[in-house]
Structure 1
Amino acid sequence: MDGGTCPWNFDCHNCDKFAMTGAGLVHWHRKREHWRTLAEGAPDPRHRGYPHKYSDPTARAIDGLEGALTAVGLLEEALGLDLRRPQHFCGRVWSAAFRAGELAYQQDGFETDLDDLSPRAG
């Protein structure tokens, strides 16, 4: 997008173009923990289930991202990133990007094929 606004109205949950990188894994872990915290603080079971239902596609994509990073040998590097500190942004973990829909699909019980999960150039 070259720094411009999102032409798909920031509808990341429904966007087939949304990609996740190894560099974002720690961020997504924090988001998942935030969703769990919201669910735990809900006043009743009906409200407690909403954050889980809303975040389920993304949570499956996070699990898929972990699997894809493991398959290409980058999981440990991704988990070790501290996004609050300056880093060399040209490493493989920054450029290994996968479409979130494909990552979630891989978590639906289908066999993982590395060719299907090959990183996108970016």
Structure 2
Amino acid sequence: MTTQNKQLVQRALAELIGEGGVAAVEPLLSDDFRHHRPDGLIRDKTEWLNDVGNALDPLKDMKVDILHILSDADHVVLHTHRHLPDDGPSIAVVDIIRLADNRITEAWELLEPLAEADAHLTWWDR
């Protein structure tokens, strides 16, 4: 099951940033899908698809490098570097995705601009 879950997550990412966009990803999400942001905001399926759909056009030339994809039971963890178009910043992203019944049912997303990573590690120096 873990290989199947990883393949589903990879397919969803490829569809989302490829030609399919949100229309291709929508059937891969459960009806009760929830997206959790670091600031505590939780969006349902309709809200998330709408937000991502609005962001995709300016990001159509974004390049995504998958650095790690790990799977355990019903969770997949995806670590990527996303390079935004037009000399935009490069961003490290960790997505934690829970699957149920062969659909993505929950996702947590953590983002950090790579240029700011060193500054965010200063708490180690205390």
TM-score where L is the length of structure 1: 0.26
The structure with higher relative contact order (CA 8 Å, sep 6+) is 1
Greater helix fraction, Structure 1 or Structure 2: 1
Greater strand fraction, Structure 1 or Structure 2: 2
